[in-house]
Amino acid sequence: MKLLRTIALDPSDTFVFDLAAEPGEWAVSGAFRFWDCDGAKLEGQARAAFRGGFLGVQSWGWSTLAQIVPATEDDCRSLVDLLARQLVDRFGAPGMAAAKIAAEEEVAFARSLCSHPVSSLIAVHRTSSGGEVRESFRRLQLRQGQGHGKAFSFMEMEDDVQPDGDLRLADLGRGPTVR
């Protein structure tokens, strides 16, 4: 069996979403979080979560990517139980019985996204039209022989270089000066 876990290749989720999921949390699509919203009217971080976030079930935060990982039946049952508790506590589900049914459906949908090989990364794109939310998912393929790394690399400067104190902006357009 395979399930989804949140993954962070860089710290961007902490800026993009109001609450970023912790890397390694069990993840579900989370589209149900927007059942009473018009996605076209959302702005800022709420819009980012709507358009491209997976829901981290433990933190109730968002992740841009989810990773397909191996899971056991116990993992699946624990995820359903955790999501059901969250639906009652955070989403106002009328009781554990109803929440568990909804959680089972959401986890089954997450499992259906795991048809690709373990370690594959999955991205989501949501749109809203006529009061209906549509989701599309894509797998991000690594080049042969590469593992997951950072989404971006930065060059670290070892020495702080101080700007030239004699620099005058008016002189930038002129040729070299002889002193």
Q: Which of 76-90, 104-118, 137-151, 152-166 has the lowest mean pLDDT?
A: 152-166
pLDDT(163) > 60: no
pLDDT in tens, 5-16: 999 999 999 999
What is the pLDDT averaged over residues 138-167?
47
What whole-number percentage of the chain has pLDDT above 90? 69
Report in angstroms the alpha-carbon separations of 62 from 18, 23, 142: 8, 10, 23
Torsions phi, psi for 11 (to 5 deg): -80, 10
What amino acid occupies position 71? A
Longest dimension (CA), the chain: 83
Q: Which two tokens stand for residue 148?
A: 């997951």
In residues, how long is the chain? 179
CB-CB neighbours of 96 under 10 Å: 14
| pLDDT at site 97 | 97
Residues 25, 5 contacting (CB under 8 angstroms): yes
pLDDT tier, 176 (very low <50, low <70, confident <90, very high otherwise)? very low
Q: Please state the pTM of the whole predicted model.
A: 0.78
